[in-house]
Amino acid sequence: MKKNMSFADSIIRLVLGIIIGVLYFTHTITGTTGIVLLILGAIFVLTSFIRVCPLYIPFGITTCKKNN
């Protein structure tokens, strides 16, 4: 798959994923909302490492200047 996320986009997703994880494991967010946000945070971390966002693909969005 071709990368469709810029470095800045992946850093933002990584930071958001880490913040959500910290909030969940410190019991700041709990219950169903906490679980949903934890899953979203995990997806953010995963997509930040592979630098491919599946939601960008159908819309043809890319934040990369050079599409590798």
Give the Cα separation of 47 and 45 in Å (integer).
6
pLDDT tens readout for residues 18-61: 999 999 999 999 999 999 999 999 999 999 999 999 999 899 88
Assigned domain for 66 exists: no
Assigned domain for 65 exists: no
Assigned domain for 46 exists: yes
- Joined together, the tokens standing for residue 9 give 């986009």
Assigned domain for 64 exists: no
Domain hosting residue 11, numbered range: 7-59
Give the Cα separation of 8 and 26 in Å (integer).
27
The count of structural domains within the chain is 1
Assigned domain for 67 exists: no
- Joined together, the tokens standing for residue 28 give 């700041």
C-alpha dihedral (29, 33, 36, 39), degrees to nearest 10: 0
Closest Cα to residue 14, out of 40, 54, 53, 41? Answer: 41
Assigned domain for 12 exists: yes
pTM: 0.85
Assigned domain for 2 exists: no
